[in-house]
């Protein structure tokens, strides 16, 4: 009797607790509690599910690894090939830009000169000398003494020629001397190179109002170069009252360290003054 009575109360209590919990849940009072309890369980469930998927993939995917590796290798080869193509195209674009600039210069030059474009293929092995080699020679009409320029300005002069190549003495060479005119005051001077590759204008009259920013152009005197080719800009002046002449350092407009292509003016021949030089009569 006692056992039956306590069983009833237990069942009733459980039902009451159950109904109470359901009512609490339905009314929303259980949400924080459920959230607190379920959160770690969800995490555990998620961890288990992830591991299961990983194990499942490990077991099932190896059948495709060989084909995936082959595909990956193929794609990597394609990427390598495309990267090589990009580098090659970039190189071609740079060359084309240089050539277009030279072409523009040749077309827009009012002097109407005839030009031969040439690529720079080497540099003199002797570090004391500033010479370059170009891939055009006498077969293309090049002759010794012809001026060499870029769209920016004067580069140098053809020094030696073979059938298919030529050696060009840069204006930065220590033995190079160019007759120049300094604008805007039109002073005459000489531009000389140096072993360091720096350019200096010398023999400038003390009266000339030489100052930084002045432009240096070829004067055409001596018949070695045509007139009015741009060379550079004066960056510093050395003037001392006890000297006969003043001098200045010149920043060339041409970057000689990255010279890739040049133009040779083929319809200009330097004037040969040697017959006019008096010789001693025995």
Partner 1 sequence: MLVSLLGVPIFTILLMLQLAIVSRLPLLQGTADLLLLFVTGWALHERVKHAWQWALIGGLMTSLVSATPFFAPLFAYLLVNGFGRLLQRQVWQTPILAMLLTTFIGTFIYHGITYIALFFNGTSLPIQDSISLVTLPSTLLNLIFALPVYVIINDLANWIYPLEAI
Q: How many CA atoms lie within 13 A of 134 on its CB side?
A: 33
Which residues between 191 and 220 bind partner 1 (CB under 8 A)? 194-197
Stretch that binds partner 1, among 2-10, 32-40, 145-153, 189-197 (CB under 8 A): 189-197
Question: With CB under 8 A as the contact rule, which of the stretches 49-57, 121-129, 145-153, 269-277 interacts with partner 1?
Answer: 121-129
Give the DSSP H or E segment for 267: none
Q: Which of 130, 253, 150, 237 is nearest to 189 (CA)?
A: 237
Closest distance to partner 1 from the beta carbon of 257 (Å): 8
Minimum CB distance to partner 1, residue 125 (Å): 5
For residue 29, what are its two tokens? 């009072």
Q: CA dihedral defined by 255, 259, 260, 265, rounded to 10 degrees?
A: 100
Running DSSP on this structure, what letter comes out for residue 153? S
**C-alpha–C-alpha distance, residues 228 and 217, integer Å:** 5
For the CB of residue 170, give the shortest distance to partner 1 in the complex, in Å. 11
Strand partners, 187: 182
Site for partner 1 contains 145 (CB under 8 A): no
Task: Determine which residue in the list 5, 60, 67, 126 makes contact with partner 1, applying CB under 8 A.
Answer: 126
Q: How many helices (H) and strands (E) does the chain have?
A: 3, 12
56/84 Cα distance (integer angstroms): 40
Q: Please report whether residue 163 would count as binding partner 1 according to CB under 8 A.
A: no
105 sits near partner 1 (criterion: CB under 8 A): no
Binds partner 1 by CB under 8 A, chosen from 32, 60, 66, 128:
128
Of the two residues 109 and 224, which places its CB atom closer to partner 1 in the complex?
224
Q: How far is the CB of 185 from partner 1 (least distance, A)?
A: 30
Work out whether 110 is an interface residue with partner 1 (CB under 8 A): no
Count residues contacting partner 1 (CB under 8 A)? Answer: 21
CA distances from 153 to 202, 204, 261 (A): 20, 21, 12
Contact residues for partner 1, defined by CB under 8 A: 121-129, 131, 133, 159-160, 167, 169, 174-175, 194-197
């Amino acid at each position: 009797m006692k056992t039956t009575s306590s069983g009833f109360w237990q069942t009733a209590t459980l039902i009451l607790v159950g109904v109470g919990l359901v009512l609490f849940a339905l009314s929303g009072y259980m949400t924080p509690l459920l959230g607190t309890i379920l959160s770690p369980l969800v995490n555990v469930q998620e961890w288990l599910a992830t591991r299961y998927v990983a194990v499942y993939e490990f077991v099932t995917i190896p059948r495709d690894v060989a084909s995936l590796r082959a595909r990956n290798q193929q794609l990597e080869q394609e990427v390598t090939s495309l990267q090589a193509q990009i580098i090659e195209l970039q190189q071609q674009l740079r060359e084309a830009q240089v050539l277009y600039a030279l072409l523009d210069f040749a077309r827009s030059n009012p002097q109407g000169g005839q030009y031969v474009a040439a690529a720079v293929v080497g540099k003199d092995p002797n570090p004391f000398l500033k010479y370059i080699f170009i891939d055009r020679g006498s077969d293309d009409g090049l002759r010794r003494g012809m001026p060499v320029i870029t769209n920016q300005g004067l580069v140098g002069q053809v020094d030696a020629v073979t059938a298919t190549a030529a050696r060009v003495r840069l204006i930065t060479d220590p033995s190079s001397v160019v007759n120049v005119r300094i604008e805007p005051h039109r002073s005459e001077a000489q531009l000389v190179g140096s072993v360091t590759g720096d350019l200096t204008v010398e023999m400038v009259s003390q009266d000339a109002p030489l100052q930084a920013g002045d432009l240096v152009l070829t004067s055409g005197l001596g018949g070695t170069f045509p007139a009015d080719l741009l060379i550079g800009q004066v960056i510093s002046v050395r003037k001392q009252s006890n000297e006969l002449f003043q001098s200045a350092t010149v920043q060339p407009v041409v970057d000689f360290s990255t010279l890739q292509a040049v133009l040779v003016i083929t319809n200009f021949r330097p004037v040969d003054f040697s017959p006019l030089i008096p010789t001693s009569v025995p």
